Structure 1
Amino acid sequence: MAVRHLVSTGRTLIACILGPRREEAARIKTAAAREVLAEHGLRLAAEPLHGLWTEHWGRQAATQLVHAGIAFDGLMCGNDTIARGAVSALAALGVSVPDDVGVVGFDNWTVMAEADEPQLTSVDLKLQEA
């Protein structure tokens, strides 16, 4: 859903920042992103970046993408915490969200999704109903 949303808003250069590579959630999200992009004749803008499920990792990874000169206009983050860090880093680097880069997180954790301006777009996995 996250990548479909980014593609539906015209994003074609999508990067991913996820949690640890060994975790199933990160592997599933990476595979799904690749699959959806392939359906649209697209590929990931860069190999997915893996780290911790933290805001600090989101800031670090987004900064890494920008400083590496990787062109991206969409960013799928493995959770809302990573997304919040990524949005913070992008703003500090002069990258406008959502004008320059669309960002999507996961979990729809209200405290994260609504805390920033602009509000974070997030996929609600209905975890509270499980």
Structure 2
Amino acid sequence: MTERASDAGRRDVYEYALVRVVPRVERGEMFNAGVLVYCRARSFVAARTHLDEAKLKMLDPHADVVGVRAALRAVEGVCDGGEAAGQAGPDDAGRRFRWLIAPRSTVVQPGPVHTGLTTDPAAEADRLLGLLVR
């Protein structure tokens, strides 16, 4: 049995945090616009995002939609690593995840970290996006 075949059914611990949009930080109103997933055992980190522009405009008719989209793309870029991640590019998956979940007072913010078990972190990211964001 190959190592890959033996890993196929293995369940690993993963961590995830929602990515929230807070159009007017002083009001504290927010909605989910993405999910960050990290699995140490598989050196996996990814972001899946979806911006509901109608919700954004409902909470702040003057919101910078282009800016919010750019911030969400930046989160995805940090997860991807390399040049797209800027200074975090050479860091390992865990350091990039920790950087992204650090509390901040900006329009795009991470939520609290939760854990679970998964056999496929990428599929889990897609599932969580559908369940908690879309």
Same fold (TM over 0.5): no
User: Which structure is richer in relative contact order (CA contacts within 8 A, separation 6 or more)?
Assistant: 2
